Amino acid sequence: MGTLAEERPGDRMSAAGDPGPALHRLLLGARLRRLRESSGLTAGQAGAAADLGPAEIAALERGGTACRLRALIDLCDRYGVTDQAERVTLLQLARRANDPGWWAAYDDVIPSWFEPLVGLEQAARCIRGFEVREVPGLLQTAEYARGAILLGHGAEPDAVLERRLEVLVRRQRILGRERPPRLWVIIDESALRRPLGGRPILFRQLQHLIDMSELPHITIQVLPARAARPAAENPIVLLDMHAGELNDIVFAERPGPARYLDGIDEVTRYRQVLDLLAVRAARPDTSRTVLHRLAREL
């Protein structure tokens, strides 16, 4: 794998579709963190050169915020970055990180705690997940999704509900890209028996899952109702963010604010949970048979 100065991440990703600013922010943050650490500077010392506080430097290095170009130039000077190609690459990353993703136009219907996940989905190389309540959003049919949306937002005007549905449809486009991410989901059987929108809609949703499971980049496993769930009572999403450049990230939904975790120990723990669930779930070919059976029972 080349260095960031040798290859431009945005160009390298273009064949797969524009990942939006999320990947560029993450790559820029990771690069700046390595530069700071190799310079032996604390976040406070680095921030002083760019009129940024330690917390702002930490947010920038996590990829949680964009970087002003003037601040980036100051940081490059403080870190002793003299290679012009590397400085140009960092500036290009910063410019792309400042561009709004398509989801910015839907900030009225995307909660602030959920917005990072939408961006990360666009940039991930592999998305693994476990869902206990309903079919994962990336695999929902429009009519099933409408039933799920009505369940939580039924009092909203029809126009707002339709915008929520538009967001889901646009999220799902990553699965049809020229180079889509791998999607590997484990779905609790109880979620597949919950007739959101009615039995005919659930039947068509199950048929859709069967069709999607035939695609080479999508793996679907069904966790039998009798199987034990290892500390996994809430949905989990693990995003592979390009090994060797970025830490993987876990989105852990729970009562209250959702959490985004990228610490090695935390990510490892959740990966082990997903691995154990995958072992306890039916194999992909058997899961397809289970989906057929559940559809016949409706």
Predicted confidence (pLDDT) at residue 295 exceeds the cutoff of 50: yes
Give the domain CATH number at 95.
1.10.260.40
Residue 104 lies in a domain: no
For residues 237-252, average pLDDT: 83
How many angstroms separate the first and last alpha carbons of the chain?
50
Query: Are 125 and 265 in the same domain?
Result: yes
Last residue of a domain, one of 99, 126, 153: 99
Q: Rounded distance, CA 166 to CA 146, Å?
A: 10
Query: Are 123 and 95 in the same domain?
Result: no
Q: Structure tokens of 201?
A: 């809609």
Residue 281 lies in a domain: yes
Residue 144 lies in a domain: no
Q: What is the pLDDT of residue 193?
A: 95
Q: Is 197 left (phi over 0), alpha (psi -120 to 50) or beta?
A: left
Q: What is the pLDDT of residue 243?
A: 59
The pLDDT confidence band at residue 5, using thresholds 50, 70 and 90, is very low
Burial of residue 231 (CB within 10 Å: 0-12, 13-18, 19+) is exposed
Q: How many domains does the chain have?
A: 2
Query: Are 45 and 193 in the same domain?
Result: no
For residues 269-283, average pLDDT: 95
Query: Are 123 and 262 in the same domain?
Result: yes
Residue 154 lies in a domain: no
Query: Are 124 and 233 in the same domain?
Result: yes
In percent, how much of the chain has pLDDT > 70? 90
Query: Are 42 and 118 in the same domain?
Result: no
More confident: 225 or 4: 225
Q: What is the pLDDT of residue 184?
A: 98
pLDDT by residue (tens digit) across 74-85? 999 999 999 999
For residues 160-165, average pLDDT: 94
Query: Are 121 and 254 in the same domain?
Result: yes
pLDDT by residue (tens digit) across 120-129? 898 899 999 9
The pLDDT confidence band at residue 13, using thresholds 50, 70 and 90, is very low
What is the CA angle 209-210-215, rounded to 5?
90
Q: Which of 57-66, 87-96, 142-151, 247-256 has the lowest mean pLDDT?
A: 247-256
For residues 237-264, average pLDDT: 80
Q: Is 231 left (phi over 0), alpha (psi -120 to 50) or beta?
A: left
What is the CA angle 114-186-18, rounded to 5?
45
Highest averaged pLDDT of the listed ranges 2-6, 17-21, 107-111, 218-222: 218-222
Query: Are 55 and 82 in the same domain?
Result: yes
Give the domain CATH number at 283.
3.30.870.10
Query: Are 25 and 55 in the same domain?
Result: yes
For residues 25-41, average pLDDT: 90
More confident: 247 or 248: 248
Predicted confidence (pLDDT) at residue 67 exceeds the cutoff of 60: yes
Last residue of a domain, one of 99, 125, 145: 99
Predicted confidence (pLDDT) at residue 258 exceeds the cutoff of 80: no
Predicted confidence (pLDDT) at residue 94 exceeds the cutoff of 50: yes
pLDDT by residue (tens digit) across 184-204? 999 999 999 999 889 999 999
Residue 87 lies in a domain: yes
Q: What is the mean pLDDT of the chain?
A: 87
Phi, psi of 218 (to 5 degrees): -125, 125
Query: Are 190 and 287 in the same domain?
Result: yes
Give the residue numbers spanning the domain of 26. 9-99
Query: Are 120 and 30 in the same domain?
Result: no
Residue 153 lies in a domain: no
Query: Are 270 and 124 in the same domain?
Result: yes
Q: What is the pLDDT of residue 257?
A: 65
Residue 146 lies in a domain: no
The pLDDT confidence band at residue 20, using thresholds 50, 70 and 90, is low
Q: What is the pLDDT of residue 9?
A: 36
Predicted confidence (pLDDT) at residue 18 exceeds the cutoff of 60: no
Residue 147 lies in a domain: no
